Chains A and B, each alone.
Chain A
Amino acid sequence: MTSEPRRIRVEALTRVEGEGGLYVRVRGDQVEEVRLEIYEPPRLFEALLRGRSFQEVPDITARICGICPVAYQMSTVHAIESAFGCAPGPEIRRLRRLLYCGEWIESHALHVHMLHAPDFLGYPSGLAMAADFPEEIKRGLRLKKHGNQLLELFGGRAVHPINVAVGGFYRLPDTSDAARLIPDFEWGLQAAIDATRWVASFDFADFDQPYEFVALSHPAEYPMNEGRIVSSQGMDISAQDFAAEFTEYQQPHSTALFCGRGAAQTHYLVGPLARLNLNLERLAPEALRLAEEVGVTRPCANPYRSIIARGLEIVHAYAEALSILKTYERPRAPRIEVRPRASSGAAVTEAPRGLLYHRFELDADGLVREATIIPPTSQNQAQIEADLRSLVSARVARPDEEIARDCERLVRSYDPCISCSTHFLKLDMVRT
């Protein structure tokens, strides 16, 4: 305990997408305030979308995030289709899942190997790790590349795919081009299993938190594009009811809006850990067996273990992608006909980082009148702050540098996408 105020500044949180800051105020051994400060300059998407045609919207919302553009495109097309009262058939539905598998693989493989693993092994970056773990890093990059290849074939390119349309796709690839990916994906399935075993062998600090997990849940599949929004405390609602259950609110220290559940606006957790806890039994058999083997039991409420959840989801995505690729035949029509009508519609899909909500109000010509977009990192913001408070309280006697480092590691375990939510993580710790 010190009587003089102490200020510690870490310039920026690293190995996350986007930039933000942390502010911690401690008096004696009491943590008075913890703030995740997001300075990312707002880009005002919800405003700039007004007046744009529904056909342009998936191309525009993709630009919210270069790491998970497919997630934005998926929530967009489902929300607009819901407004127009149309639904593409099972073929399109499967291919949308396939595209999402590509994004889960590339996004998770990047985070697991290049961003998160260095924390457990004591390196500043994945690149620095490559000298001592060449096989693991090369394997991780190859997994990531497979995800990108899938996005390139079905989306046109990995960042900001051009092939997603309201109603389906612009053009679907030839059957033979899809078949060419199969050998790589067979290798990748096994490689992803090995990678998950490797990360499961890391040392994990005890840090179970009393989370309310929130994720989509679907009776027949591990959730991606469709399902009901459920929670570990019994909530079970449709995407159309999201706005009645969840409220956005603003804090002065963040350009990302917060999101709370229920009248009390309580915090909750979205993302791989939430999905896994609520949908474990719906993992592909390969992933489910592996979960058992590496000792995943529910509730798995340790945020550091999210690296295992990501590994299992990579395995799942490979298994599912393989089964879709093996039976792929180029559909006769790439999309269904879509007729605009004046209406509104909402949709939730599972971005790599968790629940992504979109709602659009459209006019009779299909022009956007109003847009609401709630990214996963905005939803996790309040939970991250609660976790940080619990972490700093438990370690208040430790030196500032150590607390700073541990806070940064904790935030990183969420794989926050600050560009999505809006960016500069600065640790600014004040002790009085």
Chain B
Amino acid sequence: MSDPRPSLAVFKFASCDGCQLTLLAAEDELLLLAEKLHVAYFLEASSDRGPGPYTIGLVEGSITTAEDAARIRQIRQQCKYLITIGACATAGGIQALRNWADCDEFVRAVYAHPEYIRTLRTSTAIADHVPVDFELRGCPINKYQLLEVLRSLLGDVRPRTPAESVCLGCKRAGNVCVTVAQGIPCLGPVTQAGCGALCPKYDRGCYGCYGPAQQANLVSLSNHTLAAGTPPDVLLPLLRNFNGYAPEFRAEYDRLANGGAAHPTATGETP
């Protein structure tokens, strides 16, 4: 007897569980959602482990082991729509800081017996390994955006999330710009919306946890931030945190670290 409802599976790779928890945090919608979708595989929530194929696969986490690199390929074959959720799955996450470091030294710093530990030298996004149908951004993702993505997929509609920057959220919320008014460095102009312009609302600068916005002008933002007196050793770590391995943030970090010379991929340099 097969269930006529579309099926949902949730898979975890290297991550904190926070993005899949967002699904359980949809307290008001969860029971309704469970009527429309057959939750076939969701280890954190259920002991039922329904076999694939699945209509929708949500993937949390980044690829950091050879086993996981093989596992994501199998999962891709099992899922009609493969959706990545969160900064780890879309950009490698905070654990991608190892990509710039000596990973063996990292392991030695944490473990007395590094020989027991098997890990790849890099933490990479799911899309670096398999084709992905839609990437939902955020560290963590936004519950309403996740529900919107699921609704779209249930209606066979391509999911969309606003591609605008956090700045527009601030304008709508009536937040006073923390950069203009207080000189606080803020990645809002180059970061994709989705968080509700949260950090500026709480009197602090955006630290880019939703990753680069489309057509973000990073060079211009760096120029402004540095000219306004923020030292490079404050701006650089901002670019290299939860989405640091996203290509746009990475390119701008490298450009600044190399003395600010124009990076081949950097565009939109202001005069």
Contacts and interface: CB of A to CB of B under 8 A. Distances in A.
Interface of A: 11-19, 40-48, 50, 52-53, 56, 59-60, 63-67, 69, 106, 110, 114-115, 118, 124-128, 130, 137-138, 141-142, 144-145, 148, 156-160, 162-163, 169-171, 248-252, 255, 257, 334, 417, 419, 423
Interface residue range, chain B: 35 or more
Contact of A12 (B43, B65, B113): B43
B97 interface: yes
B110 interface: yes
B27 A48 contact: no
13 contacts: A13-B43, A41-B65, A45-B94, A46-B110, A66-B17, A66-B20, A67-B21, A114-B24, A125-B47, A144-B25, A171-B204, A255-B116, A419-B17
A163 B202 contact: yes
B100 to A, nearest CB: 10
B203 A47 contact: no
Contacts of A114: 24, 45
A43 B14 contact: yes
B17 A156 contact: no
Contacts of B105: 47
Interface string B40-55: 0011111111000000
A69 B24 contact: no
Interface string B198-211: 11011110010100
Contacts of B15: 66, 419
Top 6 A-B pairs, shortest CB-CB distance? A66-B18, A125-B46, A47-B106, A43-B95, A159-B140, A66-B16
A106 B44 CA distance: 15
A125 B204 contact: no
Contacts of A419: 15-17
Contact of A52 (B21, B107, B117, B237): B237
A52 B30 CA distance: 38
B101 A137 contact: no
A368 to B, nearest CB: 11
B181 interface: no
Interface string B177-208: 00000000000000000010011011110010
B28 interface: yes
B14 A65 contact: no
A16 B46 contact: no
A257 B123 CA distance: 21
Contacts of A171: 201-204
A350 B49 CA distance: 33
B22 interface: yes
B74 to A, nearest CB: 13
Contacts of A159: 18-19, 21-22, 25, 140
